[in-house]
Amino acid sequence: MAADSIETTLKDRLQLKQYSRSACLAALRGKQLPHALGHPLHQLCVIRGIRYHPGFGDELHGVLPMFTRALNARSIMSNVIPNLDSQNDTPYCIWHPETASDETYRELALRFPHLAYNVGRACAVAGYTTLFHELDILPDVHIAEEARECGNLAIYEAIMSQVVRYNIMNDYTLSVDRENRQPACLNGDTCVRWMLDVKQKFKNATDIPDDDDEWDLFAESGYEDTTFNITEDMHIDGYESSQNDKRELATRPELRLLCEPLPADLSTVQKDMLILMAAYHGDVDRYARLRRPKQIRSELQCCVRGIYHNTFFAVWWFKQPGQTPSRIQPAINARYIMNNVLAGAPYPKGDIPYLIWWPTKAQPSTYRHLAQIQPEMLPQIIRACIYCGYQDLFDELLPRVTPDEILVREVEEQGNLHFREALRDRVQSLGITPQEPPVGQAWKMNISSVFGQSSTYISKYLDVKNVGIDFDVPYDGWQCDATDVETNACLPDAWRIPVEDESTARDVDYEE
């Protein structure tokens, strides 16, 4: 009865979702379970505490599958083989933060054959070469990448010597598919051992009300979703790994691969930079191969930029099955308009693009027909006429438009006297003062003045933050700028900042 009472109490505590910083710290240190076990951040801290502290949280076995999997992983790493009653109780990662003995893994594979590949992965981490060969499993690319990163080259070479290698493990879905195996190459899709030691410091989170379905729209979760989560704790800790520890820095190997064909098997590289640059330039082959199931930071902005600059990337995205991410469809529509294809018009409200005249000018007849079938796009069509110098179409459409400060600014930018006088006459005839756009659309004011700007920034290291945001670059209100990366890719070796140099950045400066 006492055990049943404890279990009921714990399950009741899963309904409590009030955040506590002290509870998170206590769980991380394996000292005490949070009272509110239902808060997602608390749960991550508990899982982290279980994996690092044998005996912590044993009472949670059977309360929630994620807790049970963590407890079973901890038992295995402590050389105790648990009863794996169901797939929901079976952990994926059984090698972090420490490995079990080879005898434990051998017995585990004998008792639970479906864990043979997980055991093989543990062998790649620990260097159990003899046990790895005993398993007699197919050559898996994830195990190969793991063995390479952990320095266990005998296992790595045994896999790489095979004519065909397979994608059996999946570090994104935490699954092992032995039936539908697919030939594969090393592609940087493995959460290798050192990545698990890259920690994110939890932040203060928001309480979750019981009756607020809109909580997730405004709440602070206290953590960021990581690319990989094979330990199911989002790498939560009480400290943040330093930049050097993260190994997310793009150095010469990454910059070299940006300028060369990708090898069949990727070497050890910071793959995220390669993904972003493939999207940024609209490289269909590289992007389709490299991208992850879930988009990474700045990837969507890079895809929008790539669509604007590469028609074939736009067509590829258009043909992708399922619902496209937000912002993708307006970019596709813009690229098609600039290619004089209006097959998708009129567009739904959420798919209407604004920037429809750069980097390519559509023909006047295209803009004229678009104005006929979608009159709400007249403001950007008039602006396109100003930028492109389409005087006849401008004169034809201007009587249908109420000028705002955006058009006034574009006329001043282009310096065309006819457009300036015609716009001034239209404003005077309406007796209005051109209005600035709302705050959320202020980006429309300056976009024509920033096309094609470059960077003089030299960095010792580059990471995805160098690709992300520049508030002057105007892809329908989204920003994306990789000119820092492009500048650094061009540098001669003599210009690069040596690793031992204390400075991390400088500028190309031909005057000073």
Query: Can you tell me the mean pLDDT for 224-247?
Result: 86
pLDDT number for residue 464? 73
Element (H, E) at 459: strand 457-459
Residue 16 is predicted with a pLDDT of: 92
Query: How far is residue 506's CA from residue 511's CA, in Å, rounded to a whole number?
Result: 14
CA–CA gap between residue 281 and residue 277 (Å, rounded): 6
Predicted local distance difference test score (pLDDT) of residue 167 = 96
Q: Residue range 243-260: average pLDDT?
A: 67
User: Is residue 226 located within the same domain as residue 359?
Assistant: no
Query: Tens digits of per-residue pLDDT, 41-55?
Result: 999 999 999 999 999
CA atoms of 503 and 497, how far apart (whole Å)? 8
Domain shared by 223 and 258, yes or no: no
Note whether 233 and 265 are same-domain residues. Answer: no
223 sits in the region (left: phi over 0; alpha: psi -120 to 50; else beta) called beta
Say whether both 259 and 232 belong to one domain: no
pLDDT averaged over every residue in the chain: 90
Which residue has 């004089």 as its token pair?
340
> In this structure, what DSSP letter does residue 294 have?
S
Q: Is residue 466 part of a domain?
A: no
Residue 485 lies in a domain: no
Backbone angles phi, psi at 387, to 5 degrees: -65, -40
The count of domains in the chain is 2
Question: Helix (H, G, I), strand (E, B), or coil: what is residue 436?
Answer: coil
CB under 8 A, 24+ apart: contacts of 439-445: 440/477, 441/477, 443/471, 443/474, 443/477, 444/354, 444/406, 444/474, 444/477, 445/405, 445/406, 445/409
pLDDT confidence of residue 1: 41
Task: Tell me the chain's radius of gyration from C-alpha atoms.
Answer: 28
Q: What is the mean pLDDT of residues 317-332?
A: 90
DSSP string, 34-83: -S-TTSHHHHHHHHHHHHHSTTTTGGGTTT-HHHHHHHHHHHHHTT----
CA–CA dist 72, 51 (Å, integer): 9
Strand partners, 507: 457
Same domain, 258 and 221: no
Query: Are 90 and 96 a contacting pair, CB within 8 Å?
Result: no
User: Is there a single domain that holds both residue 187 and residue 266?
Assistant: no
Helix/strand/coil for 226: coil
Q: Which two tokens stand for residue 389?
A: 């110098």
Structure tokens at 229: 């989560």
- Listing DSSP states for 254-285 in one string gives HHHHHTSPPPSS--S--HHHHHHHHHHTT-HH
305 and 271 co-located in one domain: yes
Residues 221 and 146 in one domain: yes
CB 281 within 8 A of CB 492: no
Confidence of residue 452 (pLDDT cuts 50, 70, 90): low
Residue 213's pLDDT band, with cuts at 50, 70 and 90, is low
Task: Choose the final residue of a domain: 427, 450, 473.
Answer: 450
Position 107 in a domain: yes
Which of 60-64, 82-86, 189-193 comes out lowest in average pLDDT? 82-86
pLDDT at 245: 55
Query: Rounded to whole angstroms, what are the CA distances from 352 to 135, 283, 327, 331, 376?
Result: 56, 24, 10, 9, 9
CA 146 vs. chain centroid, Å, equals: 22
Q: How many CA atoms lie within 13 A of 375 on its CB side?
A: 6
Is position 505 within any domain? no
Residues 114-126 have a mean pLDDT of 98
Q: Which residues pair with 270 in a beta bridge?
A: none
pLDDT digits (tens, 9 = 90+) for 469-510: 555 556 877 777 888 888 888 888 788 777 777 777 788 878
Per-residue model confidence as pLDDT tens digits over 100-113: 999 999 999 999 99
Mean pLDDT value across residues 191-213: 87
In a domain, 508, yes or no: no
297 lies in the same domain as 431: yes
CA distance 269 to 248: 9
Same domain? For 105 and 220 the reply is yes
Comparing C-alpha atoms, which of 144, 142, 133, 89 is closest to residue 109?
A: 133
Q: Which of 237, 264, 289 is the last residue of a domain?
A: 237
Pair 183, 317 in one domain = no
The answer to whether the CB of 331 falls within 8 A of the CB of 324 is no
More confident residue, 354 or 325: 354
Rounded Cα distance, 502 and 505, in Å: 9
Is the peptide bond between 359 and the residue preceding it cis, with omega within 30 degrees of 0? yes
For residue 489, tell me if it sits in a domain.
no
SS3 175: strand
Which range among 4-13, 89-98, 212-221, 448-457 has the greatest average pLDDT?
A: 89-98
392 lies in the same domain as 341: yes
* CA dist., res. 206 & res. 220, Å (int): 5
C-beta of residue 140 within 8 angstroms of C-beta of residue 119: no
Ranking 216-225, 239-248, 251-260, 381-390 by mean pLDDT, the lowest is 239-248
Integer angstrom CA distances of residue 411 from 224, 422, 425, 447: 44, 10, 13, 13
Domain carrying residue 224: 2-237
> In this structure, is residue 345 part of a structural domain?
yes
Domain boundary among 450, 465, 485: 450
Task: Say yes or no to pLDDT of 187 above 70.
Answer: yes
Q: Is the pLDDT of residue 241 over 90?
A: no
pLDDT tens profile 374-427: 999 999 999 999 999 999 999 999 999 999 999 999 998 888 999 999 999 999
Q: State residue 447's pLDDT score.
A: 73
Cβ within 8 Å of residue 113, ≥6 positions away: none
Residue 366 in domain = yes
Distance CA(228)–CA(235), nearest Å, equals 9
Cβ atoms of residues 197 and 17 within 8 Å: no
Give me the mean pLDDT over the 117-134 stretch: 98
Is the pLDDT at 5 greater than 60, yes or no? no
